[in-house]
Structure formats: structure tokens, C-alpha cells
Structure 1
Amino acid sequence: MTFDILTLAWIGAVFLLAGTVKGTIGLGLPSISLGLLAATLDLRVAMILLLAPNLVTNLWQACTGGHFAVLLRRLWLFLLCATGAIWIGSAGLTAVDTRLLAALLGLLLAIYALIGLTRPPLSLPARHEVWAGPLVGLANGVLTGLTGSFVVPGVPYLQALGLSRDQLVQAMGLLFMASTLALGASLGGRSLLTGELLWLSLAAVLPALLGMGLGRRLRQHLSEAGFKRAFYGALLLLGGYIVARWLLS
């Protein structure tokens, strides 16, 4: 597969924007980049391009914060199910029309955006984690394998656990990092991960990191709450557009 200069410029711009969003509010790189790329490229290509930037930008988030051991003891079964089920979900990439899977991605992004905008009171008593964690993990893994999206229902589940802000940020980093590694292994195992796409994914790390640096500077001059509302609003429109495009196709 070869890309023309305009497509390469678009890919770079997408990761620059997604990195800027993550640098500003601490989240959003996989959702923004995957949504924009899936709206213009094949979903499987978009998933592969996301691998290296998402791994690099979440590695630091997962390993810093001072809560790694505590979170791993609490979330290991959830994370194990979330990563293991990705292989099951990725089977659909060769068996299901990718246009339908892209529409599913749009729906998941819209749901995630609505949760972010409405901020419903999410709470899960600790006694229910023993069964809810594996179930949510399995669902998250299957959907990740099908669409490349890591957020639904995994992120709402983590938000419902009553973690502190720092713990929640690190827990999301753990989920995203582990899921990215499992997704890459799954795509490679199904012969979808070509050398050219892998190199292009590695090249996309640079604009993503540049965007994060820009976002950190913007954070000093912008309202984080207002920027988050704009982010979720844009994500809702993007998800709706992807679904509408499938319905009209």
C-alpha cells in the first residue's frame, strides 16, 4: 500500500492535532486520531497507524504516578480480560465489512462523548468488581479488536471505581498501553500489520509528541473544562458523521 503526499500530510496533521488535545487535557489521542483516520481511510489502516503513537504517549502515563503496583493488584483481572479478548474481536476484521465496523466505531465515539458531556454519576461498589471487571474487560477487548477503540466500556468502568484523579489517569494509561500491545500482536498474527504501515506508524510518533508539547503550552492559557467540552462536542460530531456516512452509503 502506497500513500500520496496529501494523504501523508493528512496523517501527520491528524496526529499533531490529537497530540495537542492530549497535551492540553491529558486524553483524547486515540479517539481523535482513530476517528479522523477512520473517516478518511480504511479502518484497519487507521488501527495500525495508531499503534506506535498511542503506545509511546501512554507508556509514560501508565508507568508514572506512583500507583502502578496498587492499580495492578486491583485491576489485573480486568486488564487481562481486556487484552486477551482483543484477539477474539480482531477476527471480525477479516470476516465483517469494515464499513460496518467503522460505523460501530462512530457509535462508540459518540457514546464516549455523551458520557463526557453529561458526566453521569458512575459508581460501582468494590464488592462487585470481582465479576464486573472481567465482564467489562471482555467487552472492551472485543470492541477494541473490532474497532481499535479502547474507551467503551473500559473508561466508564474505571471512572466508576472511585479512583483519585491521579490513579484514574494512570489506570487509563495502563489500559491503553496494554490494549495497544495486544492489538498490535493481534493484527500481526492475522497478517494485517505490514512493514510499510508499521514504519508509517513509527513516523507518526513525531507529530504526536510535537502536538503534546504544544498542548502543554496551550494548557496554561486555556480553560481545561471548556476545552474538554469542546473536545467531547467535536468527538460527538465526528462519531455521528461516521455513523451517518455508513447509513447513507
Structure 2
Amino acid sequence: MTGLAVALVFLLAGFVKGVIGLGLPTVAVGLLGLFMTPVQAVALLVVPSLVTNVWQLLAGPTFLPLIRRLWPMLLGFGIGTWAAALALGADAGAQAGRLLGIALVAYALVGLSRKRFSVSPARERWMSPLVGAVTGLIATATGVFVVPAVPYLQALNLEKEELVQALGLSFTVSTIGLAAVLMAQGNFQPSLAGASLASLIPALGGMFLGQWVRGRIRAETFRLLFFIGLLLLGAHLALR
């Protein structure tokens, strides 16, 4: 029964990610936490998250230009992840998760109000590494790679498919950093690695279906789903 429940969780999480480009870690960790420890849930997430993010990254149209543009943020991810692994206490995750949820809800409400933010090239130069470092810190505490990376990437005014690809790039780097921290702490055991690999199949199936749905909706509908998804994810984290 547990194996079936895990498969269904990753099928749903993959579908959400396929439609709006994010949400697999939050959906998966939140639902898996109903019947396993948070550390086990995050460890199960590693392979599906890494592979689906790489798929999302490589499926987009502008891989190399995004690398050249976003590399300072990616470097910041690595610095923030390892700084958090060394500095955060054992009970930091729950409090950080609540604060993350509140921030997501606030950002989603602003987005649904149609107020647009933009980052100028001059600000992008210094904001990019800072955003990466803060996202790495929060991701290590919560297992969720969303804030402030997602609001920042959206403020760069990327096209729909460019934004989805940029999210895949940032989440790929974040997943690698989180996996490295888990292995260094001894929390990614061979048995969990095998279960994480098996969870990849339903996650990919859900993501493929979600991408099919995304390709058939208008840009404005995508934007609406994007912010509703953030609102639901934030409410889940804030109230958990």
C-alpha cells in the first residue's frame, strides 16, 4: 500500500510540475510527510526531482543563453546551500517552511492582482548571486527551491517557455546541492536511493501529461495557473 501511495504522490507531483514548471518538491514532500519522516521524504525526492528538472531544462529553447545569464545565481545556490548545511539548527526547517509559505502566498496574491515587477540589467548583476544564495539557504532548510528564485526569474520578463526552462535550470542546480548535503550527512542510504529511482517512473509520467496540458493552454491561462499554484503551495507550507 505504501508503494502505491508513493507512486500516486509522484504522479500528482509530476503533473503539477509539468503544467506550471514547479511544485514537485513541495507537493511530494508535503504528501509523503503524512506517512514517513521528512528526511525520508526529501531523500525519495532526489532522483525524480533531478531527472524531471533536467528534462524541463533541456526541453526549452534557450539553454546556453540562460546559462550565460544566470550563472551568478547558480553559483549563489551552491554557496547558500553549503552555508545553510553548516549553520542551520535541527529545528530550523519547520520555521523556515512557515516563513516560506507566507512569502509564497504574498507573492502569489500580488501576481494575481496583475501588478508586474521588473529587474533592470544593472540590478540583475548584483541581485542574481544574492537571490541564489538565499534560495540555497531556504532550500536546505525546507527541501523547497521556490523563493526567492521564482519571483526573481519572473521579474526578468522571460517568455513562457524561457521561464519554464529557467526554473528547470535553477531547480536542477538546487537539487544537486541538496543531494550532496544529504549524502554528506549520511541521509541518502542505498535503500532510499533505490526507492527514489523507482519513484522516477510515475513522476515522469505525470510530468509528460502536465506538459501536454501546458502546450494546449493560452499564455494568460498559464500565468493564472502559475500564481494559483504558488498560492496553494504557499498556503500548504504556512499552515502545515
TM-score normalised per structure 2: 0.84
Name whichever of 101-110 and 35-44 sits farther off.
Answer: 101-110
Query: Could you tell me which residue of structure 2 aligns to residue 13 of structure 1?
Result: 8
Segments of structure 2 that go 5 or more residues without pairing to the other structure are none
Q: Deviations over 1:191-249 (max 9, x none)?
A: 1212222211111101111212333455578778668756754664564355434xxxx
Q: RMSD over aligned Cα, in angstroms?
A: 2.9
Residue of structure 2 equivalent to 1:48: 43
Q: Which residue of the other structure, out of 55, 58, 74, is the alignment partner of 2:53? A: 58
CA contact (8 A) 2:117 2:155 kept: yes
Instruction: Summarize the alignment of residues 73-222 of structure 1 with structure 2, pairs less than 5 Å apart.
Output: 73-91=68-86, 95-96=90-91, 98-104=93-99, 106-107=101-102, 109-111=104-106, 113-114=108-109, 117-216=112-211, 218=213
Q: Deviation of residue 95 (structure 1)?
A: 2.7
CA contact (8 A) 2:112 2:224 kept: yes
Aligned residues: 240
Deviates more, 1:38-47 or 1:167-176: 38-47
1:234–1:175: structure 2 CA closer, same or farther, 3 Å change rule?
closer
Q: Distance in 1 between matches of 2:76 and 2:41?
A: 24
Instruction: Tell me how far apart the structure 2 counterparts of residues 64 and 221 of structure 1 sit (CA, whole Å).
Output: 16
Normalised by the length of structure 1, the TM-score is 0.81
Matched-pair contact (CA < 8 Å) for 1:52–1:205: yes
User: 2:32 aligned with 1:37, yes or no?
Assistant: yes
Identity rate, percent: 44
Task: Classify 1:65/1:97 alpha carbon distance in 2 versus 1 (closer, same or farther; 3 Å).
Answer: closer
* 1:69 partner amino acid: L
- Asked if structure 1 preserves the Cα contact closer than 8 Å seen for 2:21 and 2:167, the reply is no
